[in-house]
A and B are shown apart, each in its own frame.
Chain A
Amino acid sequence: MSKETREIISSLMDGEVSREASRFLVRRIGSDEELHATWARYHVVRDCLRNRGEVYARSDLSVRVRNAIADEERPRGRFRQARRWLKPVGGAGIAASVALLAVLAVNPGGAPPVNPTESLVDQNVSQPFSSPQGIPITPVISRTVSTNRMGPYLLRHYQVAGAGQGRAIVGFVPVMVSNQRLEAAEPEAVNPDENKPVDSQ
C-alpha cells in the first residue's frame, strides 16, 4: 500500500476529508480487504493511544465514522444516544418462537386462501401485454420456471448489482424461497403484467 493511500486513510480518520470524499472512501474501504484491515488497525492504535482498549476497532467503524461526519452537519446530540442495540437479546431457541409470533403478526388472518393455480397463467397461452408507455403490444409466452437454468444469471446479478449496495441478502431471499417452492411443488409460471400482492397490514 502506498504512502499516499495511508495518508488518505489517516486524513479520513482525522476528519480532514470532505463529506462526499468520505463517502467514497468508506465504500472503497468496504470493498478492499487491505484497506479495510489498515483502517481497522489504525483505529486499534488510536483507541489504545487514547486508553480506550475496550473499544477496539469493530466492524461498524465506518458507520461510526459516517455518523460522525453526519453529526458535523447536524445539531449535536442527535446521534449521540447510547447504542441500545448492544443490549442482549434472546437466543436462537427463543427466536423460533418469536418468529412464529411474527408470522401471526405479519399475517394476522392467515394468508388469503390462494389456489396455487390461480396465480398461474395458462402456460401455453399468449398474454397481451399493455405497456404503460405504449410499447408495441407483443404476446409474451409465460413458461415454466427453471431456477437451475436461471440460477447462474440470478447469482451473478446479485453479486454485481446487489452486494455493493448492501442489498445482496434482501435481493437473494426471494430467489432462494422461490427455488425451494419449485423444488417442493409445482413449477411456477408468470403473468407478465401482474404482480400478486401479499395481504396489507
Chain B
Amino acid sequence: MRRLAALTVCAGFGMLLAASARAGELAIDWLDRMSVAMNQMSYQGTFVYHQEDRMETMRITHVSDENGVRERLVSLSGGGGEMLRDANGVSWVLGDGSSVMTDGSFQRPLFPLMPSEQEGLAAHSYEVGFAGKSLVAGHLARKIKVEPRDHYRFGYALWLEAHSGLLLKWELLDPDRKPLARLMFTEIRLGSEVDPGELKPARELNRYQAVETGLPAGGSAISVEPRWAPVKIPPGFKLTAHRFQDGGEDDGGEYEHLVYSDGLAAVSVYIEDPAGDADRPERIERHGTTHAFTKSTGGRIVTVVGDVPAATVLMIGKSVEPATVQ
C-alpha cells in the first residue's frame, strides 16, 4: 500500500513537471507566434503610447498581401510624425512637417541571415511564462511575462490576441520590473476589415524636403570576420547580422554594421571611417527607451544603439576595438 502511495505521489510530481514544462514551452512559442502574426497578418488600429509624462495616440495600418508588407504609422496627437515602410524601404516624415528621412540605399535581405533560432537565444536570457488572460481592445488576450535574468536587458509584459498571437498591449519593464513604457491598442481591425486606403501618406512624399540617411548599404558579410568588434558582450547576446563596406574613393569610407541579439533585444554597432574629423567625446543618449553610445577610437566613429539599458550599450561601445588587437 505504501509502495502504491509512493508511486502515486511520484506520478503526480511527474505530471506536474510535465505540465509545467509544456507550459514553459508554450509560453516561449507564443513569442514566435507573435513575431509571425505582427509581420504576416493585416491589421489596423489605434493605440496609446505612454512613457514618463508623455502620452501619444497613434494609428497603424499594416497590410500583408500579394504585394508584400506595407505599413504606415502616424501620430494622432498633433505631432505630425509619420512612418511608412514597404519594399522600397522606410520613409520617416519628421515632426517638423517639412522633411522626410529615407533610407533608400538599404534594402532588407530577401532571406534572413540567421534563420531564427531566436527562441533558443531568448531562453538563455529570459524567463518566459504565462500570466493569465484579459480583454484588450475587446479581444481576449493571453499575458506573457518575459523577465530578464540579468540587468543587461529590459523585461516585457505582452498581451497577445488569444488565437493569432497578435500584440495588443506591451509594457517595457526595467530591471526592477517597473514599467518604463506602455503601448495599448484601444481599437483594432484584422484581416479583411483593414482599409488599405489608410496606407496613403497624409501628403505626397515628394512635397517634403528629402533627408537621406547617408549611411551606406553595405553588403551582407555574416561569413566574414568583423574588422572591428566589441571585446565585451553581455551574456546571451550573439552576432546575428554583419554588413560591411570596404573603403574606397567612390564608396566613401569603411563601414561596418554589427547586430547583436539575445533573441528579443537587439543592439546595433556601427563603425565608420569618417574621412575627416573623427574626434568625438564619449557620450550616452536616450531616445525614448532606446539608448545610444558614441565614441571615436583609432580614427573610427563608433555608434551603438539598442532597446537595452544604458549599461549594455556602454559595455559594448566602450570595448569596440580593431579585431586584430584582441
Contacts and interface: CB of A to CB of B under 8 A. Distances in A.
A30 to B, nearest CB: 5
B66 A36 contact: yes
Nearest to A39: B66
Interface in A161-201: 161-181, 183-184, 188, 190-201
A138 B305 contact: no
Given A140-B282, A140-B283, A176 B41 contact: no
B17 interface: no
Interface string A135-167: 100101111010110111111111111111111
A178 B288 contact: yes
Interface in B65-95: 65-69, 71, 73, 75-77, 79-81, 83, 85, 87, 89-90, 92, 94-95
A155 B181 CA distance: 20
A63 B60 contact: no
Interface in A64-86: 66-67, 70, 79, 81, 83-86
B63 A198 contact: no
A188 B286 contact: yes
A23 B116 contact: yes
Interface in B31-64: 32-42, 45-60, 62-64
Contacts of A90: 187
Contact of B101 (A140, A155, A191, A197): A155
A192 B191 contact: no
B314 A102 contact: no
A142 B284 contact: yes
A30 B161 CA distance: 20
Nearest to A110: B53
A63 B49 contact: no
B46 A27 contact: no
Contacts of B284: 140, 142, 190, 192
A169 B43 CA distance: 12
A2 interface: no
A37 interface: yes
B115 A95 contact: no
Interface stretch (B6-14, B163-171, B199-207): B163-171
Interface in A32-46: 32-33, 36-37, 40-41
A195 B174 contact: yes
A173 B79 CA distance: 13
A162 B133 CA distance: 27
Interface of B: 29, 32-42, 45-60, 62-69, 71, 73, 75-77, 79-81, 83, 85, 87, 89-90, 92, 94-96, 101, 103, 106, 108-112, 115-116, 118, 137-140, 150-152, 154, 161, 163-165, 167, 170, 174-176, 178-184, 186-193, 211, 213-215, 232, 234, 241, 243, 257, 259, 261, 264, 266-268, 270, 281-292, 303, 305-307, 309-311, 314-315, 318
Given A96-B46, A159-B90, A169-B38, 4 more contacts: A27-B115, A106-B48, A106-B182, A184-B95
Closest A-B pairs by Cβ, 6 of them: A174-B288, A166-B38, A152-B213, A161-B266, A180-B79, A197-B178
